[in-house]
Amino acid sequence: MCAEHPSLLNNELLAALPGDVAAALRAQLESVVLTAGSTLYEAGVELSHVYFPVTAVISLVSPMQDGACIEVAVVGREGIAGVCAFMGGGKALSNAVVQRAGLAWRMKAADIARLARDVEPAMQQLLRYTQVLFTQMAQTSACHRHHALAPQLCRWLLEHLDRQAGDEMRVTQERIAVMLGVRREGVTVAALQLQKDGVISYRRGCIRVLDRQRLKTQSCECYEVLEQAYARLRSRAAQQREAELA
């Protein structure tokens, strides 16, 4: 669905591109409204478009043969969903599912592949983001394997909270359990403890974070690793913008 045009600056990856490159991209970008629960593309399928979230949040999900799935990364206004479009393969490595409804910029996969091939500053920025995204995927996979459910839940809540406005998330415990690859009962126990501790409040389909700092202290170290990786990416982008203006 088409939407009112947000500013390119509302997506950090687009905002980090040189001004002349971003201006040239406008004609190739379409503003769309993404609906929660919709699948943008599936693993193994040739990508037709990539997405730069603005207010939407997208989960990258690895499907299993038995029908189960697990979230391996989350993409918000800091990045792009569909990096395989410019990495040479062209086929998606995971499903992309809209976790939080909202606005995004959509671009044809062929156009971003051409941009990456022909414009070196754009390719460098895309590669820097992709490196951080792959760091997130690797860290998340290790987290699923080695950490208890309660700190995993805190990490998951923080990652999604960072990519949206406000402190309220419209998500069910069942949905969180699917994303973490665990039983819903385990999420219920962990969420009840967080609510008892005054960290969150919960009613069906809605979680409000009341104390972000305590949520962070109860998370595993994976969140801090990812937070630092994205902070370095943003710092590098800010330095480039300053150099461009100098």
> Is there a single domain that holds both residue 113 and residue 5?
yes
41 lies in some domain? yes
Residues 213 and 151 both lie in one domain: yes
Q: List pLDDT tens digits, range 170-199.
A: 999 999 999 999 999 999 999 999 999 999
- How far is residue 238 CA from its own chain's centroid? 20
SS3 (DSSP) at 200:
strand
pLDDT at position 12: 93
DSSP 53-115: ESS-EEEEEEE-TTS-EEEEEEE-TTS-B-GGGSSS--B-SSEEEEEE-EEEEEEEHHHHHHH
The model's pLDDT over 67-119, given as tens digits with 9 standing for 90+, comes to 788 999 999 999 999 999 998 778 999 999 999 999 999 999 999 999 999 99
- Residue that wins the pLDDT comparison between 203 and 149: 149
3-state DSSP percent of the chain in helix, strand and coil, to 5: 50, 20, 30
Q: How far, in Å, CA of 225 to CA of 38, rounded?
A: 29
Same domain, 99 and 177: no
User: What's the CA gap between 162 and 12, in Å, rounded?
Assistant: 13
Q: Is 113 a member of any domain?
A: yes
What's the predicted TM-score (pTM) here?
Answer: 0.92
CATH number of the domain encompassing residue 80: 2.60.120.10
Tell me the two tokens of residue 162.
């960072």
The backbone region for 90, taken as left when phi is positive above 0, alpha when psi lies in -120 to 50, beta otherwise, is left
Query: Which structure tokens are listed for 143?
Result: 């987290």
Query: On the CB side of 67, how many CA atoms lie within 13 Å of its CA?
Result: 0
Of 15 and 199, the one with more pLDDT: 199
β-bridge mates for residue 33, sequence order:
103
* DSSP code, position 43: T
pLDDT of 206 higher than 50: yes
Tokens of 140: 């998340």
- CA dihedral sign of residues 169, 170, 172, 178: negative
**Mean pLDDT score of the chain, rounded to an integer?**
91
Pull the structure tokens for residue 168: 């309220």
What's the number of domains the chain is made of?
Answer: 2
Domain containing 202 — which CATH number? 1.10.10.10
- Only one residue has tokens 């979680």, namely 207
Kindly report, residue by residue over 111-146, the tens digit of the pLDDT. 999 999 999 989 999 999 999 999 999 999 999 999
On whether residue 165 sits in a domain, the answer given is yes
The answer to whether residues 68 and 174 belong to one domain is no
What local confidence, expressed as pLDDT, does residue 25 receive? 86
Q: Coil, strand, or helix at residue 191? A: helix
Return the percentage of the chain with pLDDT > 90, whole number.
78
8-state DSSP, 197? T
- Domain enclosing residue 208, as ranges: 145-222
The verdict on 102 and 4 lying in the same domain is yes
Confidence of residue 1 (pLDDT cuts 50, 70, 90): very low
Three-state secondary-structure class, residue 46: strand
pLDDT at 136: 96
d(CA 169, CA 184): 17
DSSP H/E element including 229: helix 221-245
pLDDT at 49 over 80: yes
CB atoms within 10 A of CB 179: 21
Task: Look at residue 2 in the predicted model and tell me its pLDDT.
Answer: 47
Model pLDDT, residue 54: 96
